Amino acid sequence: MTAKVNVGLIGAGRIGRVHAENLAYRIPEVNFGAVADVFVEAAEKCATDFQIPSHYDDHRAILDNADIEAVVICSSTDTHAQFISEAAEAGKHIFCEKPIALDLAKIDQALNTVEQRGVKLQIGFNRRFDPNFKYVRDSVLAGKIGVPHLVHIFSRDPVPPPIDYVKVSGGIFMDMTIHDFDMARYLIGSEVEEIYATGGVMIDPAIGEAGDIDTAVVTLRYANGAIGTIDNSRKAVYGYDQRLEVFGSEGSLVAANNTPHNVVYNGPESVQSAKPLNFYLERYATAYLAEMKAFVEAIQQDTLPLVTGMDGRIPVVMALAAWKSYRENRPVKLSEIS
């Protein structure tokens, strides 16, 4: 029997608590030993709610614990690269939420440390683990629709984030579209070579005042000749809109929204179905569990994580290219960034 993996959690905010619940109750291959957060009350509550033996207000307490083999980093974005490097120096395997950093130099420094120390690093692009999206990806690679020609990704949030968050998020392309950039690569197994982005402020003027946009369309040109589009909005009044299509020479694959139920009412005045799920934690609950199981399995089986550090770096390059394209109103090759 493979030994259990001793895990510590850094960051007990919203996404940290999602991973904490899965680690505590749904992954028996884990010994969940400690949680740390700069807000000690958050760490204490997380420890109490999920029966975690130890809690701290300093992440170093986890890194200095020789019994902990792996850490899950869910702290603020500006700490990710630093904590990855520190965890690697301490010999810990690492799961880190996206993005690694907003700056490529910081990302490269962290990835170099990971490589030098020989630890595993998995980045939290959870949508790869969504059963519907994975089915599309597997079917494309199996040749079910022939040669891919077009990729369409729709990603629209139910409500905009708080303005204080917008100011430090890196903007829509770095915060929101970055998931779609990862999906664009993942779905057809080809790299994007060129990006053209356009957008505007159509929802909240305060977002524009913060230097961001809230509505965007991004066109992608792939190395294999395919063309893609990403459609983003910070506010879809009907719920969390997450759809995609891959169209090819022999057909297409479409993944629709997840809904609370699939019952359709047919009446004399209308035909009605359920709205999409209204929050990403509901929509991707299965994916969050699957990605953490995959991380644990990579440690136990000594295999390469399914989402590598380079998989974390490339979408940041794409986001930087999208911002450059938007500001300069022209297509931008990724080679101009990286």
Indicate if 73 and 211 belong to the same structural domain. Answer: no
Q: Are 177 and 209 within one domain?
A: yes
What's the rounded Cα separation, in Å, for the pair 287 and 127?
6
Look at residue 297 and tell me if it is in a domain: no
In whole angstroms, give the CA distance from residue 170 to residue 202.
Answer: 19
Under 8 Å CB-to-CB from 269, ≥6 apart: which residues?
none
Mark whether 262 and 322 lie in a shared domain. yes
222 and 99 inside one domain:
no
What pLDDT does residue 2 have? 64
Strand order across the beta sheet in which 215-222 lies = 251-255, 241-248, 148-156, 227-233, 215-222, 192-200, 332-333
Distance of CA 173 to the CA centre of its chain: 13
Q: Are residues 194 and 229 in the same domain?
A: yes
Residue type, 285: A
Residue identified by tokens 């493979």 is 2
What confidence score (pLDDT) does residue 199 get? 98
Same domain, 145 and 255: yes
243-283 tens-digit pLDDT: 999 999 999 999 999 999 999 999 999 999 999 999 899 99
Q: Please compute the mean of the pLDDT values over residues 290-298 and round it to a whole number.
A: 98
Predicted pLDDT at 1: 41
| Average per-residue pLDDT for the chain | 97
Dihedral, 274, 134, 232, 125 alpha carbons, nearest 10: 120
CATH code: domain of residue 105: 3.40.50.720
For residue 180, CA distances in Å to 69, 135, 153, 249, 336 come to 31, 17, 7, 23, 20
Model pLDDT for residues 15-65, shown as the tens digit of each residue:
999 999 999 999 999 999 999 999 999 999 999 999 999 999 999 999 999
Q: Does residue 40 form part of some domain?
A: yes
Q: How far is CA 78 from the centre of its chain?
A: 16
104 and 22 part of one domain: yes
pLDDT band at 338 (very low <50, low <70, confident <90, very high): confident
The number of folded domains in the chain is 2
Q: Say which residue, 2 or 45, is predicted with more confidence.
A: 45
Domain region containing 51: 5-119
Within this chain, do residues 181 and 211 fall inside the same structural domain, yes or no?
A: yes
